[in-house]
Amino acid sequence: MKIKDGFLLKSVAGREIVVPVGAASVDFNAMVTLNETGAFLFRQLETSKTAEELTAALLEEYDVTPERAAASVARFAEDLRGAGLLDDETADA
Protein backbone atom coordinates (compact mmCIF):
# COMPACT_ATOMS: atom_id res chain seq x y z
CA MET A 1 0.00 0.00 0.00
CA LYS A 2 1.04 3.57 -0.64
CA ILE A 3 -0.38 7.09 -0.36
CA LYS A 4 -2.10 8.03 -3.62
CA ASP A 5 -0.36 10.56 -5.80
CA GLY A 6 -1.50 14.10 -5.18
CA PHE A 7 -1.39 14.14 -1.38
CA LEU A 8 1.37 15.69 0.72
CA LEU A 9 1.96 15.99 4.43
CA LYS A 10 2.65 19.54 5.56
CA SER A 11 3.30 21.05 8.96
CA VAL A 12 0.99 24.03 9.42
CA ALA A 13 1.01 26.00 12.69
CA GLY A 14 2.50 23.02 14.49
CA ARG A 15 -0.07 20.57 13.14
CA GLU A 16 0.46 17.81 10.58
CA ILE A 17 -2.04 18.30 7.74
CA VAL A 18 -2.62 16.19 4.61
CA VAL A 19 -2.86 18.57 1.65
CA PRO A 20 -4.22 17.63 -1.78
CA VAL A 21 -2.26 19.03 -4.73
CA GLY A 22 -2.86 19.12 -8.45
CA ALA A 23 -5.83 17.11 -9.72
CA ALA A 24 -6.42 15.65 -6.25
CA SER A 25 -7.34 19.11 -4.96
CA VAL A 26 -10.35 19.20 -7.29
CA ASP A 27 -11.94 16.00 -5.99
CA PHE A 28 -10.81 15.99 -2.35
CA ASN A 29 -12.94 18.28 -0.20
CA ALA A 30 -11.78 17.46 3.31
CA MET A 31 -9.05 18.22 5.79
CA VAL A 32 -7.01 15.48 7.42
CA THR A 33 -5.03 16.28 10.54
CA LEU A 34 -2.64 13.63 11.85
CA ASN A 35 -1.09 13.07 15.24
CA GLU A 36 2.62 12.24 15.59
CA THR A 37 2.14 8.52 14.97
CA GLY A 38 -0.17 9.12 12.02
CA ALA A 39 2.34 11.51 10.46
CA PHE A 40 5.08 8.91 10.97
CA LEU A 41 3.01 6.25 9.21
CA PHE A 42 1.99 8.67 6.44
CA ARG A 43 5.67 9.39 5.73
CA GLN A 44 6.37 5.65 5.65
CA LEU A 45 3.60 5.27 3.07
CA GLU A 46 5.14 7.79 0.69
CA THR A 47 6.82 4.67 -0.69
CA SER A 48 5.09 1.33 -1.03
CA LYS A 49 4.98 -0.66 2.21
CA THR A 50 3.18 -3.73 3.50
CA ALA A 51 1.33 -3.78 6.80
CA GLU A 52 4.14 -5.91 8.20
CA GLU A 53 6.76 -3.34 7.18
CA LEU A 54 4.73 -0.55 8.78
CA THR A 55 4.34 -2.55 11.97
CA ALA A 56 8.11 -3.16 12.08
CA ALA A 57 8.75 0.57 11.57
CA LEU A 58 6.41 1.43 14.46
CA LEU A 59 8.14 -1.08 16.70
CA GLU A 60 11.52 0.43 15.86
CA GLU A 61 10.36 4.01 16.41
CA TYR A 62 8.01 3.68 19.40
CA ASP A 63 7.86 1.68 22.61
CA VAL A 64 4.73 -0.38 21.85
CA THR A 65 3.83 -4.05 21.81
CA PRO A 66 3.71 -5.89 18.48
CA GLU A 67 -0.05 -6.38 18.93
CA ARG A 68 -0.67 -2.69 19.51
CA ALA A 69 1.56 -1.70 16.57
CA ALA A 70 -0.26 -4.10 14.22
CA ALA A 71 -3.67 -2.86 15.42
CA SER A 72 -2.60 0.77 14.94
CA VAL A 73 -1.39 0.06 11.41
CA ALA A 74 -4.64 -1.74 10.52
CA ARG A 75 -6.78 1.08 11.93
CA PHE A 76 -4.70 3.80 10.22
CA ALA A 77 -4.82 1.98 6.86
CA GLU A 78 -8.59 1.61 7.16
CA ASP A 79 -8.97 5.32 7.96
CA LEU A 80 -6.84 6.23 4.93
CA ARG A 81 -8.88 3.91 2.71
CA GLY A 82 -12.08 5.51 3.97
CA ALA A 83 -10.72 8.96 3.11
CA GLY A 84 -9.64 7.78 -0.35
CA LEU A 85 -5.94 8.43 0.33
CA LEU A 86 -4.58 4.90 0.04
CA ASP A 87 -3.48 3.06 -3.07
CA ASP A 88 -3.65 -0.61 -2.11
CA GLU A 89 -2.59 -1.91 -5.51
CA THR A 90 1.09 -1.06 -4.98
CA ALA A 91 1.67 -3.72 -2.30
CA ASP A 92 -0.18 -6.18 -0.11
CA ALA A 93 -2.20 -4.50 2.63
Question: For position 30, which CATH number holds?
Answer: 1.10.10
- Report the largest interatomic distance among the alpha carbons of the chain, rounded to a whole angstrom: 40
Into how many domains does the chain fold?
1
Whether 41 maps to a domain, the answer reads yes
Range of the domain at 6: 2-85
Give the ranges where 1-93 is alpha helix by DSSP (H). Answer: 24-27, 36-44, 51-61, 66-83
13-17, 26-30, 37-41: least confident range = 26-30
In a domain, 64, yes or no: yes
**pLDDT value, residue 92:** 46
Is the pLDDT at 91 greater than 50, yes or no? no
pLDDT class for 27, splitting at 50, 70, 90?
confident
Residue 61 lies in a domain: yes
CA distance 93 to 88: 6
pLDDT digits (tens, 9 = 90+) for 31-78: 799 999 999 999 999 999 999 999 999 999 999 999 999 999 999 999
pLDDT at 23: 74
